[in-house]
A and B are shown apart, each in its own frame.
Chain A
Amino acid sequence: MTVNDPINVIRLEDICYAYPGTDTNVLNHLDLEINKGHRIGMMAPNGSGKTTLLHVIMGLCRPDSGTITIFGKVLKEEKDFVPVRSKIGLLFQDSDDQLFCPTVLDDVAFGPLNLGFSREDAIDIARMTLERLGIEAFERHITHRLSGGQKRLVAMAAVLAMGPDVLLLDEPTAGLDNKVQKKLIHILNRLDIPYFVISHEFDFVSSVTDRIYSMENGRILKDDEIHIHRHEHVHKHGRHPHIHK
Chain B
Amino acid sequence: MIHGLSPAVRIVSAGVLSSCAALCDNLYMSGAYLGIALVLCCMAKLNWKDVLLRLKPVFWFLLMIWIVLPLTFDGEVLFKYGILEFTRPGIELCAKITVKSVSILLMFTALIATMSIASLGNGLHRIHVPDKMVFLLLMSYRYIAVIQEEYHRLLRAAKFRGFVPGTNLHSYKTFAYLAGMLFVRASLRARRVHNAMLCRGFHRKFYTLDLYQPNVLNTVFLTGTCLAGVALVLFERVWM
Contact = CB atoms under 8 A, between A and B. Distances in A.
Contact of A58 (B138, B143, B199, B208): B199
Interface string B181-202: 0000000010011011111111
Ordered nearest first, which 8 A-B pairs have the shortest CB separation? Answer: A114-B201, A113-B207, A97-B192, A102-B118, A111-B200, A86-B201, A98-B196, A90-B199
Given A55-B195, A94-B192, 9 more contacts: A58-B195, A85-B199, A85-B200, A101-B138, A102-B116, A113-B209, A114-B200, A114-B203, A114-B207
A100 B142 contact: yes
A181 B209 CA distance: 31
B90 interface: no
Interface string B130-143: 00000000110111
Interface string A43-68: 00000000000010010100000000
Given A98-B196, A115-B201, A123 B209 contact: yes
A84 to B, nearest CB: 10
Contacts of A109: 209
Interface size range of chain B in the complex: 20 to 34
Interface in A59-110: 60, 82, 85-86, 88-90, 92, 94, 96-98, 100-103, 105-106, 109-110
B187 to A, nearest CB: 13
A97 B193 contact: yes
Among B143, B145, B198: residue with most chain A CB under 10 A: B198
Given A92-B196, A109-B209, A123-B209, A102 B189 contact: no
A105 B116 CA distance: 14
Q: Which applies to chain A's interface (DSSP): helix, strand, loop or mixed?
A: helix
A86 to B, nearest CB: 4
20 contacts: A55-B195, A58-B195, A85-B200, A96-B189, A97-B193, A97-B195, A98-B196, A100-B139, A100-B193, A100-B196, A100-B197, A101-B138, A102-B118, A102-B121, A102-B141, A106-B209, A114-B201, A114-B203, A119-B209, A158-B200
B201 A162 contact: yes
A233 to B, nearest CB: 38
Contacts of A96: 146, 189
A103 B118 contact: yes
Interface residues of A, number: 34
A241 B55 CA distance: 65
Given A102-B117, A122-B209, A97 B196 contact: yes
B211 interface: yes
Interface in B135-160: 138-139, 141-143, 145-146
A14 to B, nearest CB: 24
